[in-house]
Structure 1
């Protein structure tokens, strides 16, 4: 585990972007696992800047997003397809057909989960998986539970998760109650995992996830078992790790 703590968001964003663009520069056909939410926005902005400066091309890259809300129209501004288009995809040269996000509106959700896992398997091992961290220790939308599901699956979102995401909607009533998420087993198969966490409100869960017991009650604690985990924290999120 390599934990780095930054005094500014600018430096953190640059570090995160450098890890991703550096991988793509050395492996133009890299398979990226991507995340959404507030945490990676600055990293994506820096990646776009690097692309526009001609430092990197994503033409050969394949991407798989961690998750998508169930029942939210794909063109809804808070769908994760809309998010990725807005913050990254439309600003770089990655072909649309090489970007993959679970279909949260599939008629047969279980079949869609199987399809998504098959696509990931066909692409080969994910070279780098980008993650954020939920207040309750979730990664992707893998919520705390007695047991965690290995592959892509539909999950009932914890109320704490829905409250945290309500800031992106007009009210919590608009936040979907389910999501389709990549499983912890798939996440842990990635060659490298890049975990980015910001904010004082995440300090305790960061410490618990990275130094506490490994338990499905804190899904992120399973990251301790990964052979190549890189953690980027701002000063506030890392205050208990120093």
Structure 2
């Protein structure tokens, strides 16, 4: 797909970017809640999603009682109450303020094989309507870093080892103080699972994401930069701030 055919929204600030994405997601959910009794949504957890989640948490239009929510990935090895756990982030940022029909967070304290089976069954029950995601500095989608990314992955969710670029990003994002504190293993939904979402809303902000965005938009579609696959999705909407988007 040509760059000019992609759905790209560029705002001046990270807050404006998040709010633009929030409005687009809100509009989609309002549209779906008129015709569906259940709307299935996958949420990413990262500082890049802050303003989007804030907008959604404050929406007066979304009927959350129809939303079944999932998180996209989760660290293995952190203490239950760790603020870095994506389930805790989403709880604090969004779910403590709204009441969804159901929420299914990845539980990294369960044995990996059991948790992979549990989440896979839940995800596969019905199609996913909406995916809220970002792009990592290494082009990862969820925790599908280049060494483990697979566009034809047979799994719905899998255990992965995080690469050093991904782990250092968590430090740069101020989620951890040092790279040694960042877990090396995680559970992640796979790229085919995310790609099956009916509509994808991809929010990317900050100058540290500029190279990743440039490759996402312009490089050959390959797992060298996993996010390049998003160009092939029929309904992926990109939201960038000016610092992240380098232009053509």
The TM-score with structure 2 as length reference comes to: 0.89
Does the alignment pair 1:62 with 2:78? Answer: no
Which residue matches 2:185?
178
Q: Counterpart of 1:88 in 2: which secondary structure?
A: helix
Please give the residue correspondences for 1:121-132 in structure 2 after superposition, counting only pairs within 5 Å: 121-122=124-125, 124-132=126-134
Give yes or no for contact 2:147–2:163 (8 Å, CA) kept in 1: no
Which residue matches 2:168?
163
Please give the residue correspondences for 1:1-242 in structure 2 after superposition, counting only pairs within 5 Å: 1-28=6-33, 29-50=38-59, 54-95=60-101, 98-107=102-111, 109-122=112-125, 124-145=126-147, 148=150, 149-150=153-154, 151-166=156-171, 167-241=174-248
Moved over 3 A (4+): none
Q: Counterpart of 2:132 in 1: which secondary structure?
A: strand
Unaligned runs of 5+ in 2: 1-5
Aligned residue-pair number: 234
**Which deviations, in whole Å up to 9, do the C-alpha atoms of 1:161-202 show, x marking residues without a partner?**
111112212432221111100000101101111111111221
State the distance in 2 between where 1:217 and 1:110 align.
Answer: 28
Quote the offset at 1:57 in angstroms. 2.4
State the distance in 1 between where 2:7 and 2:142 align.
Answer: 21
**Which deviations, in whole Å up to 9, do the C-alpha atoms of 1:91-138 show, x marking residues without a partner?**
11224xx1112111112x12311221110111x111111111111110
Q: Counterpart of 1:115 in 2: which secondary structure?
A: helix
Give yes or no for contact 1:203–1:240 (8 Å, CA) kept in 2: no
Give yes or no for contact 1:142–1:184 (8 Å, CA) kept in 2: yes
The TM-score with structure 1 as length reference comes to: 0.91
* Structural RMSD (CA): 1.5
